[in-house]
Amino acid sequence: MNNKLLLFIILFMLSCFITTLSSQENEESKETDKIDFELPKNPSFAGAMSIIIPGAGQFYNEKYLKGSLFILTQAGLTSAVIHYNKKTKEYRKKVHALDEIDYALQRKYEEYYEEKQSYIFWLGASIFLSGIDAFVDAHLFNYELKKKEIRLKFEDEKLLLSIGF
pLDDT at 141: 81
Separation CA 147–CA 163 (nearest Å):
10
pTM assigned to the model: 0.65
- What percentage of the chain has pLDDT greater than the value 70? 64
Under-70 pLDDT residues of the chain = 1-38, 144-155, 158-165
71: exposed, middle or buried (C-beta count within 10 Å: 0-12, 13-18, 19+)? middle
Q: What is the pLDDT of residues 26-54, one digit of tens each?
A: 555 554 444 455 677 888 999 999 999 99
Q: Which of 133, 97, 158, 145 is nearest to 19 (CA)?
A: 133
> Which contiguous run of DSSP H or E holds residue 154?
strand 150-155
